Structure 1
């Protein structure tokens, strides 16, 4: 590959990732005409247009999409290789983009990220909390944190936490008003907080353990939310029973207000994993974040 073509491809990928020539130029910290000229030269070299342009946006042509898909891993791999060589003489620095669910944030990011920033003052963290399914490659994230290890191709997973219990909790006010359920049959007279998955747009079912097997229990939802903070506040205020992660409750400053209900019937949720592209850990800034979280969660 001609060295100039590699440069043109780098500009091309930034245009796709940022959505416009102007945004790509800002990211690359160069003048927009330089990016536009590189794109023209690349299109001339290929003999095909890579974008359709309107006054509002740029969209990839079929040729542009094929070029982007077939060179994405190559460009990312070369960038990581170059960065790993630079890291031999430099302190880890730059931006690390992290996507995490709200539960994972509470369990493994919130307790430690301030210490990480003190230890690596030249690294900037961008933490995106999203309970939907996120494609880290497509969305441009370096690292993701989520439950379960079903992963895309070329993605590496490292376990951060063992399975955690998912249990029912109530407040004193709720129990005073509605009573405390003592059996699974008692739940038919109670109210539940519903959690709606962002991506699937469905409410998480109440699943409990009965004699070694999991069963679904149908209870009316008095509130439905897609935010764990709303769940916690609703339990505090005695609105309904809440289906909550045990370690999240244990980490609360007012955890004594959350009373376990039907604890022997609680179920377990899968392991929590950190995941990243195979080549990305070569970059010192990303490797520092990965090693730091693994250190903290294995202590």
Structure 2
């Protein structure tokens, strides 16, 4: 079927239903004379009269009534489907893929996004845990999570969490009878628990800072893990001191199961930000994710 025939059928259906060229013309946005010309051309192509015209009324012929009854419902279905697509455009739908480290995935993304899903039945969330650098565009992600706001020029960042702080901690049993470290250099006299990055294999450096003086301590741990939960467990079991996200051990510090040392060498620093490509139009789904994750003081 030619494209112009489809448009002419839409014009015919409007006239047949309104029983008026004037009302139908206003409905589809053309002049009555142009609409009358369109119907005549359609009748010529089909070789059959579709409308009976009088000075006072317009009504379908037998052929026109058949066309109205057989074709009209299909055009209505198309209209309904197109309206449905418009709703999807305006409502969060589809799957948003986010890459993040285990810490923000556990402490921010999972609890917050779990609250979002019941609000939008057509929305899906996929979180991929990766503690290394990920090129979100190349790897097909909609967004990623990173500490701080330092990003590539083509990225936008949205703050999703409070300031963070590291903590050097050990169990009372481990510290019993030992000199408590007062300076970063004192760590050399202690057993340390190190965190190995799963992606590039290196052991995390302990970044300590006090009064604008920064010290990067490369400990030589006797106990190495690649998961912060194991870090905490090893510290609780008395394996040594470890350098860990403070919020992982707040309850342990409060209960006295772990003790903080070098607290004045662990100042707060900017927390997690969600980043996404600035060149990409923000979909309703991504906008909903950003809105619920956005940090509000």
TM-score, normalization: structure 2? 0.63
- Tell me if 1:247 matches 2:247: yes
Identify the residue that residue 228 of structure 1 maps to in structure 2: 228
Deviation at 1:242, TM superposition (A): 1.4
Alignment partner of 1:118 is 2:118: yes
Change (3 A) 1:242 1:120: farther
Show structure 2 runs of 5+ residues with no match: 1-84
Displacement, 1:179? Answer: 5.5
RMSD: 2.8
The whole-number CA distance in structure 2 between the counterparts of 1:198 and 1:118 is 33
Change (3 A) 1:218 1:136: closer
Deviation at 1:199, TM superposition (A): 4.0
CA contact (8 A) 2:205 2:219 kept: no
Native 8 Å contact 2:253 2:259 kept in 1: no
Determine the C-alpha separation between the residues in 2 that align with 1:98 and 1:89: 21
Contact 1:281 1:287 in 2 (8 A): no
Map 1:138-177 onto structure 2 (within 5 A).
138-176=138-176
Q: Which residue of 1 aligns with 2:214?
A: 214
- Which whole-Å CA distance do the structure 1 matches of 2:175 and 2:111 have between them? 31
State the alpha-carbon separation in 1 of the partners of residues 154 and 210 from structure 2: 39
Q: Which residue of 1 aligns with 2:132?
A: 132
Q: Is this contact kept in 1: 2:113–2:292, CA < 8 A? A: no
Alpha-carbon distance change, 201 to 88 in structure 1, aligned in 2, over 3 angstroms: same
Name the structure 2 match of 1:203. 203
Secondary structure of the residue that 1:202 maps to in structure 2? coil
Are the structure 2 counterparts of residues 117 and 178 from structure 1 closer, same or farther at C-alpha, using a change threshold of 3 Å?
farther
Q: Name the counterpart of 1:273.
A: 273
**Distance in 2 between the 1:87 and 1:190 partners?**
62
How is 1:37-186 mapped onto 2 (pairs within 5 angstroms)?
86-87=86-87, 91-176=91-176, 178=178, 180-186=180-186
Alpha-carbon distance between aligned partners in 2 of 1:227 and 1:281, rounded to the nearest angstrom? 36
SS state of the match for residue 115, structure 2?
Answer: helix
What CA distance in whole angstroms lies between the structure 2 residues aligned with 1:203 and 1:234? 16
Equivalent residues in 2 for 1:26-45, closer than 5 Å:
none
Name the stretch that deviates more: 135-144 or 227-236.
227-236
In 1: Cα distance, 2:115 partner to 2:236 partner: 30
Q: What are the ranges of 5 or more consecutive residues in structure 1 without an aligned counterpart?
A: 1-84
Distance, in Å, in 1 between the alignment partners of 2:163 and 2:90 is: 38
Contact 1:87 1:284 in 2 (8 A): no
Structure 1 residues 132 and 219: CA distance shift in structure 2, 3 A: closer
Distance of aligned partners of 1:266 and 1:89 in 2 relative to their CA distance in 1, 3 Å threshold: closer
After superposition, the C-alpha distances for 1:196-220 in whole angstroms (9 at most, x for unaligned) are 2344432221232344301233533
- C-alpha contact (below 8 Å) 1:234/1:240 kept by paired residues: yes
Shift of 1:152: 3.3
Distance of 2:214 and 2:194 partners within structure 1: 19
Using the TM superposition, give the Cα deviation of residue 254 of structure 1 relative to its aligned residue in structure 2, in angstroms. Answer: 7.9
Relative to structure 1, the CA distance from residue 222 to residue 213 in structure 2 (aligned partners, 3 Å threshold; closer, same or farther) is same
Provide the residue aligned with 2:296 in structure 1.
Answer: 298
Cα displacement (A) at 1:279:
4.9
Give the 3 Å change call, closer, same or farther, for CA 263–197 of structure 1 in structure 2: same
The alpha-carbon deviation at position 229 of structure 1 amounts to: 1.7
Following superposition, the deviation at residue 98 of structure 1 comes to: 0.9
Alignment match, 2:15 = none
- 1:58: which partner in 2? none
* CA distance in 2 between partners of 1:100 and 1:126 (Å): 11
